Structure formats: structure tokens, C-alpha cells
Amino acid sequence: MCVNLKKTLTLFLFIIFATSCKKQNINSSANNPVPSVPVNLIVYPDNPLNFTLQSIGGWAYFDGGINGIVIYRKSQEEFVALERTSSYLPNNINARVKVMSDNFTLQDSISNSRWRLFDGEIIQGPAQWPLRTYATNFNTANGILMVSN
């Protein structure tokens, strides 16, 4: 009886393994439909011109990337940099995302897709991809924020 149980268990595990399919990670930046372009941006959040970045929850637009970059301050030491090119219409220069009046979401100007400002994840389609993110490194000693990819 023990041999039959082992065979049954082995067969069961084999069937589960064989029939399970690996879900593609659509959040992977390697598969993101928005092209990757070189970004090397230096921002001084303490500069009076960047006053909106001086408090947590603040954001500002910057030149760079394809259609511009929006930078959001998550905490005293953490920032998020998002490409403003819509992941739904990456080849349409007019499909630029903008921060909505709630200061929480970004919306594509053509498809009305929405993303969260603090991480670029989708809130509402038809977009199926998050916004392209850029690496941020904030040096608290000298107050310089580096945005790159």
C-alpha cells in the first residue's frame, strides 16, 4: 500500500508540475513596451526651484527620458522617477502622462489609462504595463538626487 501511495503522490506532483504554466512577468522592465533611453539626470531637491520636492508627497516634472520624467518624493530619503510616456501608446508622442489633481495618480492624455504616482503601477486600463521607472539615488550628505538607468 505504501508503494501505491508513493506512485500516486509522484504522479500527482508530476501532473501539477507539468500542467502549471509560468506566468510572464509583465512588470519586468525588459519587456516594457516603452523604449529604454539613456537617462542621467541630476536634481537638487533643496533648490528653491524644486520646492515641490522638499516635502514628502511632492512631485515635479523634468526634461529627460522620452516624454519627460516625473519625480515623486516618497520619504525624506526616497524618490521615484517615472517616464511620462504612456505604456499603452508608447509610439504616440501625444500620449504623455500627467499628474492628476488628486496628486496620487497619473493619467494618459489619450487612452485615459491611470497609474499610481508613487510607483507607476496600473490603476485603470486599457494599459497593461506599469510606467517605465528610472533608478534614483539620493545623497543626503550633499542633497543631490541622481536619476539614471
Domain-by-domain residue ranges, the chain? 39-148
Across residues 127-132, what is the average pLDDT?
94
Using alpha carbons, select from 78, 84, 111 the residue that is nearest to residue 99.
84
Determine whether 113 is exposed, middle or buried from the number of CB atoms within 10 Å of its CB (0-12, 13-18, 19+). Answer: buried
Does position 89 have pLDDT exceeding 70, yes or no?
yes
Residues with Cβ < 8 Å from 53, sequence gap 6 or more?
A: 43, 45, 59, 60, 71, 73, 79, 145
Q: Name the maximum alpha-carbon separation found in the chain.
A: 78
Q: pLDDT category, 7, cuts 50, 70, 90?
A: low
Tell me the whole-structure pTM to 2 decimals: 0.78
Specify whether the backbone of 44 is left (phi greater than 0), alpha (psi in -120 to 50) or beta: beta
- Per residue in 20-60, pLDDT (tens digit) is 333 333 444 567 888 889 999 999 999 999 999 999 999 99
All 3 cell numbers of residue 69?
520624467
Q: pLDDT category, 136, cuts 50, 70, 90?
A: very high
**pLDDT for residue 3:** 52
Does position 18 have pLDDT exceeding 90, yes or no?
no
Q: Which CATH superfamily is domain 39-148 in?
A: Rieske [2Fe-2S] iron-sulphur domain (2.102.10.10)
- Per residue in 38-47, pLDDT (tens digit) is 999 999 999 9
